[in-house]
């Protein structure tokens, strides 16, 4: 690609300038940008500005020096020094045409790269407690984690998607779920029963109870004791149904996990106990008030944290420490945790805990997404999980569809609060941005269909004379395609799938604009038609690639 070639040229210039002593050696990353206006060239570099201080010379002088050492290149037409010291590159006009050919040649691989090659990354997301259906509150992590995984895969990482099931014996919520379920089961069986004070009261618990009776029968369930052990046993029985349901909802959302990790396994296989012993050996724990504490303050936390409660139960921090060991043992070089805002406060203690446990903090990365608020025509739709007033993710997807759900949830930065407007999502109109993007793709397919009907061969468009693409709007579209691979690597690096949503809208707009000014199929000008068909086909390819990363479909007709 042209941009990579320019970076190589600049590196060579830098090296040459250092070698003959014109510039001091310094470690500066080369960043290329697109100048604000086309007259300023095709690419621009601020290297001289960044080097001015270490070199102790004015930026324009540094730029001059770099330009003198630039090797000859087949890509670059000329170079100018502009403004305070930018080096602007004007490329040979054919470079954009080469991009079109490149897209058609690479197909769905266009935009993929190998910067992450050889590294295994795990993205763990959603991981909602297995005590009920997924709802809109924990829905954001789904499309986000999935699209992030797509992005990391696109830049070459070996990626695995994992869902952590908080189903350990010491998980209070899980046991409470078991107790609530038992109450409903016994109620249905006309046995004595008692719903816990703060139990789960949603109707879905009754559905689970009914299904449990179907699967296991009265005798089996009535025999489960009404105590702590019994609650846990019921929770495990119920979990099977919950997980099936969650997996089904995820599939509806287009999310397939590679692994469902049961926290319970860490207990059953003794990993938790082994970890406690290891921490004792490291001398980073102590006992106080009957509990076992971790000296997280020695590792940057505000206060020490409890690992084992005075009643013997292990805390989430304890299982998190055993869990991260398991991840690393499975060979991941990097572990990404996508958490909801309610978990933001625990990140420092988990990181400190990992440091105390001897885990390199750089192998883990915590991404906190902000809340989603459901609105309908401006009115906030309130939810309460315990009381059972929730909007399930499943209902939402059935209501507005997978594409709309994903696009909406992915269209904002994870750092920002997000209002999901049901009314807007339902409208299949220009107000709904996902249709705008999909319409562009459908239109492209329609043009290609029409062209075939009129006798143009659209499958060997690589034969076209692309030098005929000289219109301003054609150049703008080609430039867009040229920049796409860089946008993908940026989005992956910044963990910012929302950029993809904006990019898709932008590409659709750029295409529609081209469509408005450039007649594609014109029997009077068959050569130009062939060239434009190549451009249209390339645009369709990139749009598909982009929507593929988002996990949104690219329909051929609407």
Site for RNA in 330-349 (CB under 7 A): 341-346, 348
- Report the C-alpha gap between 408 and 22 in whole angstroms: 53
- Report the C-alpha gap between 170 and 175 in whole angstroms: 8
State the residue for tokens 């287009």.
254
| Least Å from the CB of residue 213 to RNA | 27
Binding mask 379-418 for RNA (x = CB under 7 A): --------------------------------xxx-xxxx
Q: Which stretch binds RNA (CB under 7 A): 184-192, 222-230, 289-297, 322-330?
A: 289-297
Question: Which C-beta is closer to RNA: that of 184 or that of 499?
Answer: 499
- Asked whether position 553 contacts RNA by CB under 7 A, the answer is no
Question: Which C-beta is closer to RNA: that of 215 or that of 449?
Answer: 449
Q: Which stretch binds RNA (CB under 7 A): 147-155, 165-173, 206-214, 244-252?
A: 165-173
Question: Which C-beta is closer to RNA: that of 446 or that of 467?
Answer: 446
Burial of 198 (0-12, 13-18, 19+ CB in 10 A): exposed
Question: Which C-beta is closer to RNA: that of 132 or that of 186?
Answer: 132
Q: Using CB under 7 A, pick the residue from 3, 42, 46, 409 that binds RNA.
A: 46
Binding mask 227-266 for RNA (x = CB under 7 A): ----------------------------------------
Q: Using CB under 7 A, pick the residue from 78, 218, 220, 288 that binds RNA.
A: 288
Question: Which C-beta is closer to RNA: that of 62 or that of 221?
Answer: 62
Site for RNA in 57-86 (CB under 7 A): 59, 82-84, 86
Side-chain-side CA neighbours of 79 within 13 Å: the count stands at 23
Question: Which C-beta is closer to RNA: that of 14 or that of 221?
Answer: 14
- Report the C-alpha gap between 279 and 299 in whole angstroms: 14
- Asked whether position 12 contacts RNA by CB under 7 A, the answer is no
- Report the C-alpha gap between 545 and 558 in whole angstroms: 19
- Tell me the C-alpha to C-alpha distance, in Å, between residue 4 and each of 93, 482, 485, 486, 496: 17, 11, 11, 10, 23
Question: Which C-beta is closer to RNA: that of 73 or that of 166?
Answer: 166
What three-state secondary structure class fits 446? Answer: helix
Q: Using CB under 7 A, pick the residue from 419, 475, 486, 548 that binds RNA.
A: 419
Question: Which C-beta is closer to RNA: that of 84 or that of 331?
Answer: 84
Q: Using CB under 7 A, pick the residue from 20, 27, 36, 197 that binds RNA.
A: 36
Closest C-alpha to 446, from 538, 536, 530, 513:
536
- Asked whether position 544 contacts RNA by CB under 7 A, the answer is no
Who's near 484: CB < 8 A, 6+ residues apart? 110, 111, 503, 507, 542, 545, 546
Contact 255, 338 (CB under 8 A): no
- Number of amino acids touching RNA (CB under 7 A): 91
| Least Å from the CB of residue 283 to RNA | 20
Residue 392 DSSP code: B
Residue 468 DSSP code: G
- Tell me the C-alpha to C-alpha distance, in Å, between residue 219 and each of 83, 166, 175, 214: 84, 28, 22, 11
Query: Long-range pairs for 96-100 at CB < 8 Å and ≥24 separation?
Result: 96/469, 96/475, 96/478, 96/479, 96/482, 97/466, 97/467, 97/469, 97/478, 98/2, 99/1, 99/2, 99/478, 99/481, 99/482, 99/538, 100/466, 100/469, 100/478, 100/481, 100/534, 100/535, 100/538
Question: Which C-beta is closer to RNA: that of 129 or that of 545?
Answer: 129
Contact 123, 336 (CB under 8 A): yes
What is the dihedral sign for C-alpha 38, 39, 44, 46?
negative
Closest C-alpha to 545, from 492, 496, 503:
503
Q: Which stretch binds RNA (CB under 7 A): 46-54, 278-286, 355-363, 395-403?
A: 46-54
Q: Using CB under 7 A, pick the residue from 37, 214, 382, 463 that binds RNA.
A: 37
- Asked whether position 436 contacts RNA by CB under 7 A, the answer is yes
| Least Å from the CB of residue 158 to RNA | 26
| Least Å from the CB of residue 400 to RNA | 13
**Alpha-helical runs (H) found in 297-370:** 316-329, 347-356
- Asked whether position 524 contacts RNA by CB under 7 A, the answer is no
Site for RNA in 266-285 (CB under 7 A): none
Site for RNA in 298-317 (CB under 7 A): 302, 305-306, 309-311, 313-317
Q: Which stretch binds RNA (CB under 7 A): 218-226, 391-399, 463-471, 506-514?
A: 506-514
Site for RNA in 445-484 (CB under 7 A): 445-447, 450
């Amino acid at each position: 690609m042209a941009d990579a070639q320019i970076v190589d040229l600049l590196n060579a210039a830098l090296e040459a300038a250092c070698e003959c002593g014109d510039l001091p050696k310094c470690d500066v990353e080369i960043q290329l940008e697109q100048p604000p206006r086309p007259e300023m060239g095709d690419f621009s570099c601020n290297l001289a500005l960044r080097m001015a201080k270490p070199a102790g010379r004015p930026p324009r002088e540094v730029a001059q020096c770099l330009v003198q050492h630039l090797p000859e290149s087949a890509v670059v037409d000329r170079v100018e020094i502009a403004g305070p010291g930018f080096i602007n590159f004007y490329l040979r006009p054919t470079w954009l045409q080469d991009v079109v050919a490149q897209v058609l040649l690479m197909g769905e691989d266009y935009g993929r790269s190998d910067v992450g090659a050889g590294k295994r990354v795990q993205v763990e997301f959603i991981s909602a407690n297995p005590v009920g259906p997924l709802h809109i509150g924990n829905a954001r992590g789904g499309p986000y984690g999935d699209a992030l995984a797509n992005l990391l895969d696109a830049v070459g990482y070996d990626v695995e998607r994992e869902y952590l099931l908080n189903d350990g014996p010491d998980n209070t919520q899980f046991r409470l779920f078991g107790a609530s379920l038992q109450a409903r089961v016994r109620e249905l069986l006309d046995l004595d029963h008692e719903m816990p004070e703060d139990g789960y009261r949603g109707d879905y618990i009754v559905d689970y109870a009914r299904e449990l009776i179907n699967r296991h029968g009265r005798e089996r369930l009535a025999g489960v004791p009404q105590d702590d052990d019994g609650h846990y046993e019921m929770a495990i029985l119920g979990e099977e149904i919950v997980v099936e349901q969650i997996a089904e909802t995820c599939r509806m959302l287009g999310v397939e996990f590679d692994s469902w990790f049961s926290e319970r396994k860490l207990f059953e296989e003794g990993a938790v106990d082994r970890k406690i012993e290891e921490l004792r050996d490291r001398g980073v724990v102590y006992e106080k008030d009957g509990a076992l504490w971790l000296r997280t303050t020695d590792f940057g936390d505000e206060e020490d944290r409890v690992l084992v409660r005075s009643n013997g139960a292990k805390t989430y921090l304890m299982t998190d420490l055993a869990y991260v060991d398991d991840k690393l043992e499975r060979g991941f070089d990097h572990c990404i945790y996508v958490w909801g805002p309610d978990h933001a406060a625990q990140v420092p203690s988990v990181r400190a805990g990992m440091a105390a446990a001897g885990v390199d903090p750089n192998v883990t990365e915590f991404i906190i997404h902000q809340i989603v608020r459901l609105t309908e025509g401006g009115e906030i739709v309130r939810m309460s999980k315990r009381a059972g007033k929730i909007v399930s993710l499943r209902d939402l997807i059935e209501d507005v569809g997978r594409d709309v759900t994903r696009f909406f949830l992915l269209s904002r930065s994870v750092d920002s609060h997000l209002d999901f407007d049901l009314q807007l999502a339902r409208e299949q109109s220009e107000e709904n941005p996902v249709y705008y993007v999909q319409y562009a793709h459908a239109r492209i397919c329609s043009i290609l269909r029409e062209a075939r009907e009129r006798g143009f061969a659209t499958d060997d468009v690589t034969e076209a004379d692309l030098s005929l693409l000289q219109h301003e709007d054609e150049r703008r579209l080609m430039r867009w395609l040229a920049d796409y691979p860089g946008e993908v690597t940026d989005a992956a690096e910044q963990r910012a799938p929302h950029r993809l949503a904006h990019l898709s809208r932008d590409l659709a707009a750029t295409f529609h604009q081209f469509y408005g000014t450039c007649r594609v199929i014109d029997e009077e000008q068959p050569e130009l038609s062939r060239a434009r068909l190549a451009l249209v086909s390339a645009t369709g390819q990139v749009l598909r690639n982009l929507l593929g990363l988002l996990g949104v479909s690219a329909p051929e007709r609407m």
